[in-house]
Structure 1
Amino acid sequence: MTAPACGDGRDLIGHGAVPPEVVWPGGAALALNIALNYEEGSERTMPGDGVNESLGEIGRPVAAPARDLATESVYEYGSRAGVFRILRMMDEYAMPLTLFAAAVALERNPEVCAWIRRAGHDVCGHGHRWSEDWTVDREEEAARITAAVDSITRTCGRRPAGWYNRWMPSEHTRELLVAEGGFAYDSNAYNDDLPYWTRVAGRSHLVVPYTLTYNDSRYAAHGLTPAGFVDTCVRGIDELAREAGHRPKMMTIGLHARFTGQAARASALREILDHVAARGDVWVARREDIAATWKAQHPPPS
């Protein structure tokens, strides 16, 4: 009996039962990337977009033509206060960040760009705006990628090393990223605990998977508490580090300026960073450094 089709081109095996071994710097048991999604000021608003943004503190979208001033204000908190609380905390712990940044959000807050330059954080392109690019045609998506690269290069002093769409890519995204030629990786997948190579238009392309599990969007989407976020992330760190005796892994913690930037939730991030620092065997790394380490030890297949 023929099994039913479940999508075209999917890889349900990946690294398999015995994943490849990687030696993280310092012999770390785990590579941890902290990814700060910075989208504030680039989200959808009325009247220009014809729709209001929906992912705020309360899942109650305001229908057009009314303008959702409440949700806009939630996003403003992220850019006015939240992002700087997180950046100061990372400085305090001398730990690097990767900013999943929408280009227009950076354009609208030069002080964030200056902080990125000064602290040496890396940027993963998160769209020209925080838009649903799977809804547009290939040419428009390509134009948006180019616009984002040009903008981020200008505001942050260097181009984005990687790319992560809002929520999901289109069927064309990965081909467009490879054709653009300047991306070391993309993070448009949630399917592994390690980077992996894939083939795109006859070329090898690196994927550094992201996560929706260790992600503070659950504060709004699922009613997660700060204590629950700490528990989830600490459990993930400890269990993955325990697996280092088998093969070391990587993990991402996904943050948003408007969510974790709130003081009570920032205290949860502080507890997580304290736990990481106390362990002493976790490599907190920029995403581009994880990609480079993987590529050096596991170069693309010929």
Structure 2
Amino acid sequence: MTEGLNAKSPWPNYQWPSGKQSATLLSVDVDAQVPFMWAHRDGLPDRLATLEIRNFGPRTGLYRLIDLFARYHVKASFYVPGLTAETNPEILPTLIEAGHEVGLHGYFHEIVADVTDAEFTGALEASIELFVKQTGKKPVGFRSPAWEITPHMLREIKRVGLAYDSSLSGFDHPYEIDGITEIPVQWATDDAIFFKFEGGGRDKWPFQSGQAILRDWISEWRTLHRFGGLFTLTVHDWISGRAQRIALLEELLDNITSQKDAWVTTAAEIAAHHASSANVGRFAVEAKIPDSIGNRRFGQTNG
């Protein structure tokens, strides 16, 4: 009676490599100043504060994160906008040399609502060309800026031969959407919604307590480990490269790396495992936009 519910169970029995109960993806979005430049693409204001806050990333924060991962002997996936790599040509080779994965993250960190399908395709192809030029190899993964994506984008990701996307949250373990392997993300484990603060009256939420967020992240990881899921942590060079956030991440990694049946690896490795495992097809979904509600209403009266 319960066989048909397996794919929707709280414990869907996702099959990880032998001896592993869950997986952890440590991911870094190396945005630097590029989102600010996209937001002001028609003319940058003559102000330095936000630019300097973000420039901390490629100057210092990124290298603190690389050092952190080296000390814990873990590999991460770094998603780098094309313009970040173009203006900091040392970043991609440095990450590759350290053994990490580099993935695509738009060219200008362009937001989906701001670009046409053709512009997305052009940015995707330009990003791939730049990555190949700087690293000698084609990246295998894509993460959309702000984690929004369209069916057209999925088709283009498949057309150019990428192995996976990491922008959606339809399961808390890998799945397929329109034939593309999806390595899911989660807003609750993204540093930006807690620690992104640029000043100037533009911030949408107050700064959060690092210790409170650490407790939440440890709880999230422990519960996902119990459920056999994927814990995807997303941090940013200019946010979590700051000293207090490095200390927070050290304590988080103390917990994760002490759990021997937790698989800590890159998104590329997780996608490769998914594609070669019995999980293929078990959690496949379509990228379907439902019909609009239109003028359907209940309880309407005339007059």
The secondary structure found in structure 1 opposite 2:168 is coil
2:78 matched to 1:103? no
Matches within 5 A, 1:1-302: 15-17=7-9, 20-45=12-37, 49-50=41-42, 66-167=45-146, 168-180=148-160, 182-199=161-178, 204-217=179-192, 218-220=194-196, 221-243=205-227, 248-297=228-277, 298-300=279-281
The secondary structure found in structure 1 opposite 2:36 is coil
Equivalent-residue separation in structure 1 for 2:17 and 2:56 (angstroms): 36
Query: Does the 8 Å contact 1:46/1:68 carry over to 2?
Result: no
- Runs (4+) of structure 1 exceeding 4 A deviation are none
Unpaired segments ≥5 residues, structure 1: 1-12, 53-65
Equivalent-residue separation in structure 2 for 1:14 and 1:37 (angstroms): 34
* Counterparts in 2 of 1:47 and 1:139: CA distance versus 1, 3 Å: closer
**Letter aligned with residue 245 of structure 2:** R
* Structure of larger gyration radius: 2
Mean CA deviation greater in 23-32 or 69-78: 23-32
Give the structure-1-normalised TM-score. 0.82
* Counterparts in 2 of 1:140 and 1:178: CA distance versus 1, 3 Å: same
Query: Does the 8 Å contact 2:92/2:102 carry over to 1?
Result: no
Deviations 1:150-171 (A, max 9, x none): 1112223322211111111245
Give the structure-2-normalised TM-score. 0.81
**Letter aligned with residue 274 of structure 1:** D
**Letter aligned with residue 21 of structure 1:** N
The CA RMSD measured in Å over matched residues stands at 2.3
Equivalent-residue separation in structure 1 for 2:124 and 2:152 (angstroms): 12
Equivalent position of 2:199 in the other structure: none
Equivalent-residue separation in structure 2 for 1:122 and 1:109 (angstroms): 17
* Counterparts in 2 of 1:157 and 1:211: CA distance versus 1, 3 Å: farther
Unpaired segments ≥5 residues, structure 2: 197-204, 285-303
**Letter aligned with residue 36 of structure 1:** V
Deviations 1:27-82 (A, max 9, x none): 12210000100011423339971266xxxxxxxxxxxxx33311000110011000
Equivalent-residue separation in structure 2 for 1:183 and 1:273 (angstroms): 29
Q: How many aligned residue pairs are there?
A: 268
Equivalent position of 2:297 in the other structure: none
Equivalent-residue separation in structure 2 for 1:161 and 1:69 (angstroms): 35
Query: Does the 8 Å contact 1:117/1:157 carry over to 2?
Result: no
